[in-house]
Structure 1
């Protein structure tokens, strides 16, 4: 299902139970279009995430650690001025629409009490977060400014009058009478047709939630009870992630019935459900947003080096004629007496091939000896080229492997991991260093990803070359176990045990496969070996190691296993 009006109704109930009467402790904007308001309620700080992202717009309490930028945005400055220390008096929903209003009470600089509303409109690409005065409805600021040129119905800019989106002519299902539902059910006994009728009359039904509701009505022996039970589920704080009938992963506030039970995961709250559902989707988007320059540089360098390697391979193919040049030079030297100046070609016995005749092209401007010398010069040139091209091919392949590995690391990274990747690219000369000590920001030393196996063994994963080197060569004990996807870019994985169980090794191998370039493959071969068998060659690039005495196993990387083991 989607974040529809019904899910919004359930989320408002959950947030009200946990946050109402709480005090605003912190406000920051970790990413474009996203806001975090930390509210202290019931002696606990809770991070309320408000997102106006076109694809991931939502409101939830998040357990994810989101970074607080050093420089706050203008929108955050406005919010801090009017909401810092404010009391959250209420959380409401407009009818059954996807609009949530957070009602705050705050004292201004003169000590007068002000009532403010922070409104979150969850409407796809038109999603927005708006702060306005409760009484006058004067807009203080919005996370996205919408001028009259963009929307003639209403402006969303500081100083303008806040107007709600155009009201729908549909009924709020939570305020409707049961007979209004039963009459529809009698008119449309087929649940798929009934679902369409529900969406045309009642507000807030997505396609999936309408199908679920309609199915529960037509399959129940007591329709009134089925209606009451279905709608009452949205007052409870629980959540589900499941495989929808269309094959896509989906989430819901109620137990889905149009799917296999084995594909349903239940969570303790809606916020926990959304954290799990959006974890990888949003993470990738944040990395793309923050690391777009790194991605562009790496892809351009990869393209350039692959093109260079192709040309080098073609050059190497041409050097295969080197021995032919030498042979022709030696034959000409042997039969100089049979060659006269002005000849353009000659056929002579090839004593390297049973004296079979070989045709040799000559320059009519050169003497016989100079013609022979010309072939010896070509031979020497090609011979020298072989050595040079071989070195260049090796160097270019190393560059491609390094950049391929960096591309994989960016794909697997969290936004906070990108700073170390940037430094690595600077150190390797792919990015220009900022030599101004005042402007150069030292990256925070990031930590490896932490997992716990089924038997409680700690498993650590390095997500960039700096982490990999630090984890494998400095942090890990020599009798711990090291894992890596075989012959492909990926993370170093450390099992903190000198005698891990087979189950732990299998789980660690799944993690190693997932944190590699082959994360979407069905079978990935993973090597594992004690850390003492790992060596780093002198002068090798960050993250590169060699090892011996390894064992291998094949595993299938699965995101659900990774999430279950993640701490």
Structure 2
């Protein structure tokens, strides 16, 4: 279901039980539109994600790791100033709208107690995170500034008075009412009833309205159906549902109108972590790697155009042998060539004396005409070697950039920094000049670890630095190495000198999943022992050659990848 007012109600119910009474111990802004509050409650740390992302706005606790920027943003610094050490006294929802208030108590610089409210408005591209002083009603800071030129109704700027989003003329479904009786009578069609429920009640997304409409059309008491539907949001059951088109949706209850419940989670937050794990990561990577994607695409386009021109040049040089042949025939029949001729037809003794027409320059002597053909032949013969070498270099460049593009597509936000450093070292990005070179305190990222069904460790490199480290430094010579055949992807290492067929298949599935062919039906994956792999001198990062490989054909399976992922 969508993160509508009803799901917000369920999430607030969950967060209230988890966070109230907790203390805010850490505040970070790892991504442009997302704030992470670490709240210590009931002797546990709860990272709370407040996302104003235009595509995936939400509030939840999260266990997905994140990497903080080297320098905190101004918004993060302001939040630390006002919220560090604050106590969460309430988590509430405004009516049944997608607006959540985290009320906290803290002490100001003078030591006086004060109450602040951190507001998250979950409204697609208008989503925002706002800190408000309860006493004055003024905005302290906001994650996305909105001026008068963007919104005439209200300013969302530090110092402005906070004004709530415009209220809709709809009824809160959790207040006592019997309006649904009239709606069911007036609109017997289920689809029409769903639309009317959306228009009449606050906080109903399309899927919530469709589920309630289906429930109200079931035999039995209408009041019971209505109250039972609302009750599930007070005691939510975090459910992943598989739709008829094989896609999935999240819900706070069974929502059996849409499909079969395929998995239950301990909390709505863990459900959202699972559901958004891939999509939200892609969104974050797109934000962080925008300039990298642009640089790689531009260089790919430039090199592909260059390759086309080189191949065209190579095709033209294929007439070199014809030039040599004409030069030899002219030399043989030189006595028949007269100065001033523009062409001559001579027998081609290489092809059964078939007549061969040869163009001549009337400004040159017969011997100079023959020499001209030999000169052109030698020039094109030399060009074949040069053009062939350039084609080889250009194709290697395309393969490298194609591999980098795949790595960006499959990367987590933590991997982007290393990919950026690699592109800088390779000369695709400009090195920023600094007065004093600072040593980075960031630890190199590590390959992702998986565990085969029989307990064998399997490691997957997510960028070229990890691939080189994994294959050339970490792996034993007797370990097994896997990679998609002629397809950009990750290096995969099985830490075993005699893996079972099942382990090889599982590792091949990982290699296919972490490759450009992730969405393909069947993917060829080569496997070979590490001792048969070597890196040529001067080769680009991540490039190796190998021999004696065998090939498996697998279908990438996200569920299998999830099963092989170790869970703490």
Same fold (TM over 0.5): yes
- Secondary structure of 1:35's match? strand
Alignment equivalent of 1:342, drawn from 300, 316, 340 = 340
Q: Is 1:253 aligned with 2:224?
A: no
Instruction: Give CA deviations for 1:471-501 in whole Å, capped at 9, x if unaligned.
Output: 0111122232221111111101112233333
Q: Which runs of 5+ in 2 are unaligned?
A: none
Separation in 1, partners of 2:304, 2:202: 55
CA contact under 8 A between 2:236 and 2:253: conserved in structure 1? no
Matched with 1:266 is: 264
Q: What's the secondary structure of 2:428's corresponding residue?
A: coil
Deviations 1:337-365, CA, capped at 9 Å, x for gaps: 22221111111122211222211111111
Give the match for residue 33 of structure 1: 33
CA deviation digits over 1:90-134, x for unaligned, max 9? 000000000000000000111100000000000111111110111
Q: Is the Cα contact below 8 Å between 2:237 and 2:254 reproduced in 1?
A: no
Deviation per CA, 1:508-528: give whole Å up to 9, x if none: 211111111111111111122
Residue 15 of structure 2 aligns to a residue whose secondary structure is helix
C-alpha separation in 2, matches of 1:68 and 1:316: 50
**Distance in 2 of aligned mates of 1:247 and 1:467:** 34
Q: More displaced, 44-53 or 506-515?
A: 506-515
* SS state at 1:366 partner: coil
**Distance between the aligned counterparts of 2:167 and 2:239, measured in 1?**
30
CA shift for structure 1 position 299 = 1.0
Give a deviation string over 1:175-196, Cα, whole Å, max 9, x none.
Answer: 223x333443344333322222
Partner residue, 2:208:
209
Give runs of aligned pairs for residues 268-347 of structure 1, distance below 5 A.
268-347=266-345
More divergent stretch after superposition (208-217 vs 115-124): 208-217
Looking at structure 2, the residues matched to 508 and 246 of structure 1 have their Cα atoms a distance apart, in angstroms, of 28
Equivalents in 2 of 1:375, 1:426: separation in Å? 48
1:398 alignment partner in structure 2: 396
How do 1:46-445 residues align onto structure 2 when only pairs under 5 Å count?
A: 46-177=46-177, 179-244=178-243, 248-261=247-260, 264-434=262-432, 436=434, 438-439=436-437, 442=440, 444-445=443-444
Q: Which moved more, 1:132-141 or 1:538-547?
A: 538-547
Farther off after superposition, 545-554 or 75-84: 545-554
Instruction: Show the counterpart of 2:488.
Output: 489
After superposition, the Cα gap between the structure-2 partners of 1:437 and 1:475, relative to the gap in structure 1 and judged at 3 Å, is farther
* In 1, Cα distance between equivalents of 2:121 and 2:320: 72
Change (3 A) 1:533 1:234: same
**2:319 aligns to what SS in structure 1?**
helix
The residue aligned with 1:480 is 479
In the superposition, relative to structure 1, how do residues 551 and 17 fare at CA in structure 2: closer, same or farther (>3 Å)?
same
Structure 1 contact 92–102 (Cα < 8 Å) conserved: yes
The residue number in structure 2 matching 1:501 is 500
TM-score by length of 2: 0.96
The Cα shift of 1:433 comes to 3.0
Other structure's SS at 1:29 match = strand
Query: How far apart, CA to CA, are the structure 2 residues paired with 1:87 and 1:438?
Result: 41
Of residues 531-540 and 133-142 in structure 1, the stretch that sits farther from structure 2 once superposed is 531-540
Q: Contact 1:434–1:440 (CA<8 Å) still a contact in 2? A: no
* Alpha-carbon distance, 1:216 to partner: 1.8
Q: Unmatched 5+ residue regions in structure 1? A: none
Count of aligned residue pairs for this structure pair: 565
Q: Report the CA distance between 1:273 and its aligned residue.
A: 1.1
CA-CA distance at 1:535 after TM superposition: 2.3
Q: Secondary structure at the match of 2:30?
A: coil
| Distance in 2 (alpha carbons) for counterparts of 1:473 and 1:130 | 49
- CA contact under 8 A between 2:243 and 2:259: conserved in structure 1? no
Q: Is the 8 A contact 2:128 2:143 kept in 1?
A: yes
Cα distance in 2, alignment partners of residues 564 and 223 from structure 1: 42
Cα RMSD of the aligned pairs, angstroms, is 1.8
How many Å separate the matches in 2 of 1:441 and 1:527? 39
Does 485-494 or 145-154 show the bigger shift?
145-154
Does the 8 Å contact 1:146/1:156 carry over to 2?
Answer: yes
Counterpart contact for 2:525–2:553, Cα < 8 Å: yes
- Other structure's SS at 1:210 match: helix
Cα deviation, 1:244-296, whole Å, max 9, x if unaligned, reads 467653211111212332x6332111111111111111111211111122111
